[in-house]
């Protein structure tokens, strides 16, 4: 995590930042290329969000849609062997298999998902093909792999020597206790975009909890849990212990709370309050939510210190520490 913290950090006062109505003079050259009367905003989880945001922003400059941008953004950590929690180089499960989960969704409730997918470097792109080329939403395991191969995706070994070594040394320790988060074993990328026309999309992709039981699927590929986007309201995504997010229908709930008038940060916090209530006082795990409202206002909240997220808006691409609950 230490390298993650080498990026520019900002304080956790989020509510007043970002949004369509806070244009800064320095941003107009980028905005002009996108041709937006209102400004695009991209937010994504953790510091691997910074290069992901760059790619997403670039995609929009080239004329891509919000969906194109969301996909292009998360493909960066998926393809980076040094990001050991997403895609290629992701830490394996308890049996040594790298199994990937991903989903993608636009503002019109169109979505696609893959879970427990092996040997495909970019599960997010397979999820998009599920969304666009089939009548289904979700494909899993062998079937998802066969589908990917039928669409021309290449079968690759995703287990890097570094991930194998890290897994071997984590394994003994992790078997003794619940997986520790906020270290390199457990960090999804979730990314939310509003493009220059106000269209929204999101993407979420992960190798999931390190040392998980083979076949385990977390929140990340589950629409409504790891990701939810409603073009009329906004979007949300999650990171952390997926089981806790699934139990609350986390991202859909954040969006629903925003629909009912809560600010993004407050909506994230409310779902975390429910997680705390369910678990009692002792919280020894991390969950973080990000939310982006249709008007460009964004917020985040986490159970524990250590969650951060990247925001690309009129102020540039910056890493921000999330506020967290004091439990
Ligand atoms: N939420 C993911 C999962 O439970 C992992 C993470 O965000 O770190 O699979």
Cα 123 to averaged position of ligand 1 atoms, centre (Å): 15
Q: Decide if 206 is catalytic.
A: no
Which residue among 48, 170, 221, 241 has the greatest number of ligand 1 atoms within 8 angstroms of its CB, and so is best to mutate?
241
What pLDDT, on the 0 to 100 scale, is given for residue 187?
A: 84
If you average pLDDT over residues 113-135, what whole number do you get?
98
Cα 206 to averaged position of ligand 1 atoms, centre (Å): 7
Judging by beta carbons within 10 Å of its beta carbon (0-12, 13-18, 19+), is residue 165 exposed, middle or buried? exposed
Q: Which residue, 309, 314, 313, 326, is CA-closest to 10?
A: 309
Pocket of ligand 1 (CB under 6 A): 85, 186-188, 206, 208-209, 218-220, 239-242
Distances (CA, A) of 71 to 187, 202, 205, 289: 18, 8, 10, 19
What pLDDT, on the 0 to 100 scale, is given for residue 174?
A: 58
**Token couple for 87:** 């895609």
Q: What is the CA radius of gyration of the chain?
A: 18
The domain made up of 39-321 has a fold known as: 3.60.20
Query: Domain-by-domain residue ranges, the chain?
Result: 1-37, 39-321
**In 40-79, which positions are buried (b, 16+ CB within 10 angstroms) versus exposed (e)?**
bbbbbbbbbbbbbbbbbbebbbeebbbbbbbbbbbbbbbe
Residue 8 has pLDDT above 90, yes or no: no
Instruction: Indicate which residue's Cα is closest to atom 7 of ligand 1.
Output: 239
Question: What percent of the chain lies above the pLDDT cut of 90?
Answer: 71
Residue 48 has pLDDT above 60, yes or no: yes
Residue 325 has pLDDT above 50, yes or no: yes
| 188, 205, 206, 239: the active-site residue | 188
To the nearest whole number, what is the mean pLDDT of the chain? 85
If you average pLDDT over residues 60-67, what whole number do you get?
96
- pLDDT for 200-240, tens place per residue? 999 999 999 888 999 999 999 999 999 999 999 999 999 99
If you average pLDDT over residues 42-66, what whole number do you get?
97
Least confident span in 31-40, 127-136, 143-152, 164-173: 31-40
Tally of CB atoms within 10 A around 316: 14
Q: Which of 8-12, 24-28, 248-252 is most confident?
A: 248-252
What pLDDT, on the 0 to 100 scale, is given for residue 56?
A: 98
Residue 177 has pLDDT above 60, yes or no: no
Instruction: Indicate which residue's Cα is closest to atom 4 of ligand 1.
Output: 242
What pLDDT, on the 0 to 100 scale, is given for residue 168?
A: 81
Residue 10 has pLDDT above 50, yes or no: no
Cα 39 to averaged position of ligand 1 atoms, centre (Å): 30
Query: What order do you get walking across the sheet with 234-240 strand by strand?
Result: 227-230, 234-240, 287-293, 298-302
């Amino acid at each position: 995590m230490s390298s993650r913290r080498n990026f520019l950090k900002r304080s956790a006062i989020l509510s007043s930042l970002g949004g369509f109505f806070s244009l800064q003079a320095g941003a107009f050259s980028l905005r002009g290329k996108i041709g937006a009367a209102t400004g695009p905003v991209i937010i994504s989880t953790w510091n691997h969000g910074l290069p992901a945001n760059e790619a997403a922003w670039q995609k929009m400059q080239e004329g891509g849609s919000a969906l194109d941008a969301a996909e292009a953004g998360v493909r960066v950590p998926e393809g980076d062997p040094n990001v050991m929690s997403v895609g290629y180089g992701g830490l394996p499960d308890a049996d040594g298999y790298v199994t990937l989960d991903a989903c993608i969704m636009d503002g019109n409730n169109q979505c696609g998902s893959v879970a427990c997918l092996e040997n495909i470097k970019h599960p997010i792109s397979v999820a998009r093909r599920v969304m666009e080329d089939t009548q289904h939403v979700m494909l899993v395991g062998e079937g998802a792999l066969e589908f990917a191969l039928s669409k021309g995706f290449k079968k690759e070994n995703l287990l890097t020597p570094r991930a194998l070594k890290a897994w071997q040394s984590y394994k003994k320790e992790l078997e003794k206790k619940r997986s520790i988060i906020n270290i390199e074993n457990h960090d999804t990328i979730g990314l939310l975009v509003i493009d220059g026309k106000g269209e929204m999309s999101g993407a979420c992709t992960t190798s999931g909890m390190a040392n998980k039981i083979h076949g385990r699927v977390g929140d990340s590929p589950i629409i409504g849990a790891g990701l939810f986007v409603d073009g009329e309201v906004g979007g949300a995504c999650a990171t952390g212990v997926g089981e806790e997010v699934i139990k609350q229908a986390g991202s859909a709930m954040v969006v629903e709370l925003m629909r009912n008038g809560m600010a993004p940060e407050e909506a994230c916090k409310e779902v975390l309050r429910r997680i705390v209530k369910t678990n009692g006082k002792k919280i020894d795990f991390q969950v973080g939510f990000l939310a982006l409202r249709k008007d460009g206002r964004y917020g985040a909240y986490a159970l524990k210190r250590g969650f951060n997220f990247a925001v690309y808006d009129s102020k540039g691409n910056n890493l921000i520490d999330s506020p967290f609950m004091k439990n």
